[in-house]
A = this chain, B = another copy of it.
Amino acid sequence: MSTAREANDQLWIMPFLGQLTDDCRDFNDDITSNSVTPFTYYASLVQRKDPLANSLLNPFYTFLNHCSDIYLSSHRDSQTGAFLGRRIARTLRSVKITGEERSFVQFLNIFCADNRTLHNYFNNKLLKQFPFVSDPEKTFFRLLDVSSVKYARTNRKLETYAFENLIKIEDALNIFPVHTQDDSILEETLLMSAMNYSVQIGGKRLRPLLMFMVADLYEIELNRILPLARGIEYLHTSSLIFDDLPARDNSDLRRGQAALHKTTINNDISYNLCEGRAQLAAVDLIAISMGLINGGLIRNGFSFESVNRVVGEISLLMHDLCIGQMMDLRAARVGIEEDSKKIDKLDRIAWFKTGKTIEVVMILPVLLAKSPSDEQALELSRIRKLSQLMGIMFQMRDDLLDVEEGAAIGKPAALDIKKNTVTYVSLIGIDGTRERLQQFLAQSLQLVDECWPKGSATIKDVIQYFVTRKT
């Protein structure tokens, strides 16, 4: 199954890689003939010192990264490695042969400017091997692993990142019975179906994706923190099941499908049990999540001490989410009190409802990657501040979306969609909200640069998405 999927991935990559190889090999010719390719375009930006170059993917790294991906997904098969190594060496030899005296060094100066190790490797080691075009894959891929790959991984666009990683998360989300040794227990099966129904209704999986991005920055292998990413998504799903119940938002639908408390699953229980089952499934998701995080991280080699800290943070998060939902419950039903119509209050709701989860998602990989003495208190407090801003931005964008959707379908009093509820738009207006959103955006991007000075364009792209998203 997963091998078939990997094979499919490679089918998709191959023509793209072929094109990149051609563009790289013909770089000098294309410069001469003024042809625009990813390589010549990137080179022209670098030479003009255009800041846009910093937010554009380096096509040479993309080329190397794809080669590396293929090599890694072949499980470092030596024949595949030799094939790819020869391809890279031949491509670079073309760059050297087709240009002038210093053209190869110039090429490296453009495309490996930020990676001295790789630059030196190509210029010293690999150059000498061009006459032989032998199989330099071993040293080569080792270098790729430690430098180029990391850069490529942490500076992709959200969409590219999601394309590669979402499948890892989706594939892992299905929940299986715990009691496998006994005969299967009917009631456990009923809970499993319910939990998986709600988990599979889907969502953007933004929380686990964001956690993966931070884990990449700290060079944690994604499979190792997968139990944590799954656990966080289950907690999120659990809170959505509770949100939809009659005593709360009373919503019959969730993402266009029947909410769990409004549906049987293949007629497995009588309809009058659905709400009770939904409540139990939501509690069970918490239980499964805690067990998975507590046990899975240990199995994946993290220390008992760091896992203890993680469980502590998760417990606190659950408490804070309850507070956030209590805020929401009061705000939705009774409105925020007139006399305290303060934007601070809205900010606090957004922080507890959305920001706290983002905080935990971004903090936990740091806690797992570093020993307690290592941690930069400054770094952690910056991440906490950033998460708070992201939570508020997410909510401001939500309020704007309500109005924009209302306007789009011609509703006159779009502001009244959430009756009796104070929103950012009702407090400071559409323009005020948009303006504040831009201020927070600038502040957040600044914080990302301070948290991760070596660059995390992917996380920046997530923040851009928070501000511009249409759903």
The residues of A with any CB-CB pair to B shorter than 8 Å are 178-179, 185, 187-188, 190-191, 242, 245, 247-248, 261, 269-270, 272-273, 275-281, 283-284, 286-288, 290-291, 294-295, 298, 303-305, 307-308, 311-312, 314-316, 318-319, 322-323, 325-327, 329-330, 333-334, 348
A161 to chain B, nearest CB (A): 31
Q: When A185-B323, A307-B308, A323-B188 are in contact, do A247 and B279 touch as well, CB less than 8 Å?
A: yes
A471 to chain B, nearest CB (A): 26
A308 to chain B, nearest CB (A): 5
A170 to chain B, nearest CB (A): 23
Q: When A269-B330, A308-B307 are in contact, do A280 and B187 touch as well, CB less than 8 Å?
A: no
For this complex, 17 residue pairs linking A to B, each with C-beta atoms less than 8 Å apart, are A178-B316, A242-B279, A247-B275, A248-B276, A248-B279, A270-B333, A273-B329, A273-B333, A276-B329, A277-B329, A287-B315, A287-B319, A288-B315, A290-B290, A291-B316, A294-B312, A295-B315
A330 to chain B, nearest CB (A): 7
Q: When A319-B178, A334-B270 are in contact, do A294 and B280 touch as well, CB less than 8 Å?
A: no
Partner of A294, one of B272, B277, B281, B315: B315
The CA-CA distance from A455 to B314 in the complex, in Å, is 41
Q: Is the interface of A mostly helix, strand, loop or mixed?
A: helix
Q: When A178-B319, A283-B242, A323-B191 are in contact, do A290 and B311 touch as well, CB less than 8 Å?
A: yes
Q: Which B residues touch A286, using CB under 8 A? A: 283, 286, 318
| Nearest B residue (CB) for A326 | B187
